[in-house]
Chains A and B, each alone.
Chain A
Amino acid sequence: MTPIHEPLSEEAAARLVMIAGLSATPFSISGGGTRSLLPAADGAEQLSTRGLNGIVAYNPAEMTMTARAGTPLEKVEAALAENRQMLAFEPVDLRGVLGSSGIPTIGGVFATNASGPRRFVAGAARDSLLGVRFVNGKGEIVKAGGRVMKNVTGLDLAKLLAGSHGSLALLTEVTFRVLPMPETAVTIVISGLNDAEATAAMATAMGLPVEVSGAAHLPESVRGRFAGGALPDGAATVLRLEGLAASVSVRAQKLADAMAGFGAVSQCDAGLTQRLWREIRDAAPYADGTSRPLWRVSVAPTAGQQLVAALRLETGVDAFYDWQGGLVWLRMESDPEAALLRRYIKAVGGGHATLLRARPDVLAATDIFQPQADAVAALQTAVKASFDPGGLFRSRMTG
């Protein structure tokens, strides 16, 4: 069994890393262990942020919070909810699809840039991240960014750490922007569109001044697995509106009128809306207790359905779309078909695919993160070395 280190302070974490550097003992960084399916690198000892727990500062009037990296996400969201605030990017909870346990941490959310449905209009986790404290591979405590909304003082290292999957440094503390919770939300449903029609409908909706905050397409194969089967028959193209009640009802009417030309339009109330978008966020239909390969693919919004159409000619896939069609949740029948998928992503204009789930031997043998062009990969390697010259932090992202 590999040792697990849980330093209780930033200083202890720094000391641990510095000492490990002397014997070149590699670490695999984890938060709450919710992505435990991803195998740690060979011989790496686990370094967990779980001991770094607690909200450090929260000033609702400034819309910012500072928390230690190991603080459970639940605790952060509860504190925000008390003040009717929230994380704008709707962090994804992958426990369902991964069949994993563990407690998602705020550090893990930022380290994986785990962003949900609102991402395509409100930004990703990386866009909410204002500042970080971390321990680099030399065991130095470093801060970057700050706690104000606008800050261009020096290089924006916080962006690099967001989504770095533990490859650069151990995050110890994060400061992030929060937003007021909308007073209410509704969903406009357009029924019976095929993937291409749905893509056109979503693009039209995003061009209207109604501030759509969620745009997903749930093909017939998955529609029944959302919202307890409460959506009308046929594929469902769903558009979310949020804000003040008076404003939402006016915008809902406008949007429904504009969408009537595409198909039958209906509306979900606030309660169903909340459930539906949580399930879209967490790819609930694929929380199926299997280890069938599950990909999260990001392409241009109009390219999502092209990609799926091309794949369908060659292999068995099940898919649904978020982010106006640009985020594709893709479940393969048996083989992850990584090479095929990535060839088609390139063909539809580029993007990236991350393999979230598969049998352990398949996960170990597949490039789970998108391979980069040579020159970009060389830059990544150089950036990795600038944080962690000894290569102490092992991660699938940078090797």
Chain B
Amino acid sequence: MDQIAFLEPRPAVLSRRREIVADLLDLLPEGCLVHEPRELVPFETDAFVSYRRLPLAVALPETTQQVAAVLKYCHRYGVPVVPRGAGTSLAGGAIPQEDAVVIGLSKMAQILEVDFANRTATVQAGVTNLAISDAVSADGYFYAPDPSSQLACTIGGNIGMNSGGAHCLKYGVTTNNLLGVKLVLIDGTIVDLGGKALDAGGLDLLGVVCGGEGQLGIVTEATVRLVARPEGARPVLFGFDSSEEAGACVADVIGAGIIPVAIEFMDKPAIEICEAFAQAGYPMDVEALLIVEVEGSEAEMDAMLASIIEIAGRHGVKVVKECQSATEAALIWKGRKSAFGATGRIADYICMDGTVPLSQLPHVLRGTAEIVAKHGLRVANVFHAGDGNMHPLILFNANDPDDAARAEAAGNEILKLCVDAGGCLTGEHGVGIEKRDLMRHQYSEADLAQQMAVRAAFDPQWLLNPSKVFPLEGRPAA
């Protein structure tokens, strides 16, 4: 199903492979360059496993200065560079190409400073998302964005993709929790954007670097906002007879001015898959499930839940299940957060990530079911309903090329449906290569040209992660 094209490798780079490796070995300490083909295999793809390319070499620098030295070299000799965090991208954001040097941040994994008085943590880009919260939790703080891959994914990757998570309904996504970065530009220049002070003194360059998918520079350090952990948090399960009723309930809860920390949605196939994996105690006799989490003191949680239960009652809620212990609460989230992994155990899947306006949820859920049925496939829906960020998992058999092609076609149709409903192609996973060729469905030529012009302002030669985000045809001449 190799349909998404990569840029043609530059012959001038491929032919100098040996020289480039020798030069990079000189630039980096021992053990910081991977170049044996066999050892390059772990870097050939990310969590978007249907595509893979063996890179020219992988640099694993230990300092910002080393990142700068490698970038300066690649810039001078016109060698493409692909940044990599933990390689958990679902959109192919970290997949390399044959003529590229991968810069992996895995050796830069130190927490540099925790500053409770200013509620900030300054960390190296290779620190995992969860490690930040772990480092501050004993003092009653946490780092809010919580992508499902938070055990593995790095803050550098989170910044590249502007990652979200289940709890961003209340706390926002990466860009809302990021105060500053140390950024290495393609020519090796090191700049500091932002810091512990709020907002930019000039143009908000940090705002466009976050979510820039590694095309604007390589982030080596980040200063993030810490938040005081709430007194308590309680997830509650609401089971419904239909997806439409669950979707309408979400819209009414938000419309009533109630903003829980999280509202997660699962349909029957997703419930079955996750329950089999996590034994989370999900009700099995419902067609759709909402996990609604509220937080605060006991009294606050009780008051908010009473309002939500009343609204759910108007939508014929069949089951309301409050968890009785912290263990039960943890299980409920384990089930939800392992949805992708659990699905991967029973079938191959591709995960879509379109976001739609809340009022369109029932319509898009119906349309998704129709599209998938038309292609003779199955779908499990599990997503962040409170902000309309959908995640249909299209199940298929990767060993059957026809099946795989149909899954990809169905996925593209679903994303177009999301855009046509007033939404977007991707809410938190990023464009990568996966959605690159659909960009014209969402943006006009002028829209894309403006984005590409900004990209070129940072990287005029298009060396950084060059096969991603923007359709390959119609790019400006570098």
Contact = CB atoms under 8 A, between A and B. Distances in A.
Contact of B359 (A62, A167, A181): A62
B443 A163 contact: no
Contacts of B120: 300
A372 B259 contact: no
B324 interface: no
A397 B199 contact: no
B149 to A, nearest CB: 15
Contact of A380 (B116, B202, B230, B443): B202
Contact of A157 (B141, B208, B442): B208
Nearest to A123: B176
A140 B296 contact: no
A365 interface: no
Contacts of A64: 357
Nearest to A140: B446
A48 to B, nearest CB: 22
A208 B358 CA distance: 33
B303 A246 contact: yes
A149 B197 contact: no
A207 B259 contact: no
A144 B197 contact: no
B176 A167 contact: no
Interface string B99-124: 00000000000000001111110000
B304 to A, nearest CB: 8
B21 interface: no
A150 B204 contact: no
A152 interface: yes
B424 interface: yes
Interface string A125-152: 0110000000010001111101111111
B429 A152 contact: yes
Interface string A78-99: 0000001100000000000000
A4 interface: no
A149 B387 contact: yes
Interface stretch (B29-37, B40-48, B267-275, B451-459): B451-459
Interface stretch (A113-121, A259-267, A268-276): A113-121
Contacts of A324: 119
Interface string A323-354: 11011000000000000000000000111111
6 contacts: A63-B254, A127-B176, A353-B201, A382-B457, A384-B203, A386-B454
A200 B117 CA distance: 8
Given A153-B425, A299-B197, A247 B300 contact: yes
A124 interface: yes
A222 interface: no
Interface in A148-180: 148-157, 159-160, 162-164, 167-168, 179-180
Contacts of B425: 153
A156 B205 contact: no
A372 B201 contact: yes
A151 B427 contact: yes
B207 A209 contact: no
Given A152-B211, A154-B469, A156-B210, A379 B197 contact: no
B388 interface: yes
Given A151-B424, A244-B300, A298 B198 contact: yes
Contact of B197 (A154, A208, A326): A326
A61 B454 contact: no
Given A157-B451, A298-B198, A150 B205 contact: no
B388 A142 contact: no
B355 A302 contact: no
B255 interface: yes
B198 A124 contact: yes
A370 B202 contact: yes
A144 B208 CA distance: 12
List 9 tightest A-B contacts by C-beta distance, closest first: A159-B207, A352-B201, A370-B201, A61-B255, A180-B257, A351-B197, A300-B196, A150-B427, A382-B457
A61 B119 contact: no
Interface in B179-211: 185, 189-193, 195-208, 210-211
B229 interface: yes
B287 interface: no
B431 A153 contact: yes
A149 B200 contact: no
Given A63-B254, A208-B228, A247 B303 contact: yes
B449 to A, nearest CB: 8
Contacts of A200: 117
Contact of B195 (A146, A164, A349, A380): A349
B251 interface: yes
B140 interface: yes
A303 to B, nearest CB: 8
Contacts of B444: 142-143
A160 B204 contact: yes
A375 B193 CA distance: 11
B208 A300 contact: no
B297 A247 contact: yes
A397 B259 CA distance: 37
Nearest to A297: B197
Contacts of B208: 155-157, 159-160, 383
Nearest to B191: A375
A36 interface: no
Given A60-B255, A127-B172, A383-B205, A152 B161 contact: yes
- In this complex, the member of B203, B228, B450 whose beta carbon has the largest number of chain A beta carbons within 10 angstroms is B203
Contact of B303 (A160, A244, A300): A244
Interface string A97-113: 00000000000000001
Nearest to B439: A154
A305 B199 CA distance: 19
A8 interface: no
B384 interface: yes
A31 interface: no
B49 to A, nearest CB: 21
B173 to A, nearest CB: 6
B299 interface: yes
B427 A148 contact: yes
A227 interface: no
A267 B353 CA distance: 47
Contacts of A356: none
Nearest to A386: B453
A153 B359 contact: no
A44 interface: no
B466 interface: no
B88 interface: no
A397 B203 contact: yes
Nearest to A327: B198
B293 interface: no
Nearest to A385: B457
B146 interface: no
A207 to B, nearest CB: 5
Contacts of A84: 257
B426 interface: yes
A376 B202 contact: yes
Contacts of A115: 199
Interface in A179-197: 179-181
Given A123-B172, A150-B389, A160-B208, 13 more contacts: A62-B359, A126-B204, A153-B439, A154-B431, A154-B448, A207-B228, A244-B304, A326-B196, A326-B197, A352-B197, A375-B189, A383-B208, A398-B202
